[in-house]
Structure 1
């Protein structure tokens, strides 16, 4: 059979390529059969080809041209790509968390110049761009607001209110406080978990409408200005003042070691009043320092012994002056000498050269003037002690 021109050309090509390499550009647009088996070793530069077994890595960024990688397995190690199922799971977890990232502040109106990443708690009805996003968390992306819807039980803190937490109850946010007790200011707020409204131990401690109750009744009442404590009438370590901010009536057994600074112009209605008379029950001690009995009137009973004192007998002991030198010439002829104050009647003690003088026989007194019967001589010393 005669050989065609094509057969002859192929035979000639085979012979010319025998034992030789194909030069660059010698073969173009060649087709390889689908069942051809070409080993990597037959390729001049196998490192530049991507193999399906993953043995050759990319050496530059790759563009998918808008197409997807499908059937991607779950990422496991650091650097693994993740698929959409994994991303959806993370998103769901974040949305179900009870704690959300903090916000800058709590507001209902968007700020005029937010920065990217700024977050706000819309506590109530949103205004402006926040309209329709009541009680959500708003975050500025740089060009628009994105929103997170809280779940019941979600907590969030505000950077400008470090002592508070905001708790979402399902329809609204409520404030929870964390306050420390410090000197001078004391405990200002009491915070509690929404799941614990009161702690009971018998009657125990209860909280309702701003009132903390200890025991069966209302023991501690808190209002905007003060804290009132009802300590009852049984023995305790707290003394409760009356409506006039004074100590209530007490019996004599509770008053001991009273000094002059604590007694001033007391009468029988105020001092040691236990019955119609002022009395100290037998077995108790009443100790009053000298000079401290001022204006004590009525009947005083000590250990069963009654001492009666009238207003004239115990009427203001006054201020004591000791060894005053009165003014006046001591020259053997002058008999009148003047004191700085007018003594209370019968309280003066007049000394001439150290000798106590006798009223009437040695001198007389009128207001603050002492008149001697005999004029003191030059060099004599006059001293007077008295109360005024």
Structure 2
């Protein structure tokens, strides 16, 4: 049996869904075994394997609705919401362009929980394909074939589970927050004397205690460089940059350019580091994302519908190149903050 959602009289959606078996097990050619040691096991189950009875899992894994989010049925609910919007608004029914933005987000928590090569993630994408088909059928009916254009992309990719990579002798590892932070703090104390030199570490950035540095009459750049030199010697760290280096460097290096694009000086840390390829933070199970490497940043960009000529491009593009494209169709000016350029000539 596949999944089902139960709608009570008051209109609230409750998790009464089951995943008794994968939708099409014969199609899971690239996924790993259903039972392995690097997937999260829900409370109430003894293994991360099918079947999944969400009505039993949800109460044991709060918040209750998170069980729906970590399943294909989160996407079902979103399609229902989109179809409700189409049925109860005038979207696409006049000569004024409308934008319907939909974020199918369940692939993210499923990937975090089970990993990108899991049977669960494979199952989710097969079912998501059916949801997209349901959406396209509704657009054909309400807006009309040839009267709409769709683009599909993602905000990030994913790294593989470190344990899986290690099993296949691939370079991989896991860095430990507590160990790295203590080592950095102890090193600065050894070099500069007693004091809480680190305020915090977040998103691979260290924030130094600037008031303490000023009170000791130390140069900020000296302390930043000391910390950066220490981090460069630690296992699993591939690149380290101080904020000053990112503000003044113009090497055009792949990772460095990405960091510079995301640098907001008022909130950026003093020292930013990047883990080595295949490395993540200590995860015991599941996967994550957040690096600048291709496996984390290479995402699909699919266009479909009115104004699209069939074809394939292998050129490098950024998702920021999406925004300038629609105004070309409408003969309108591009949004002022848009940093990209149209993917093809208007």
TM-score category by the smaller chain? under 0.3
TM-score by length of 1: 0.20
**Of the two structures, which has the highest relative contact order with CA contacts closer than 8 Å and spacing of 6 or more?**
2
Q: Which structure shows the bigger proportion of residues in helix conformation? A: 2
Q: Which has the higher strand share?
A: 1
Max Rg structure: 1
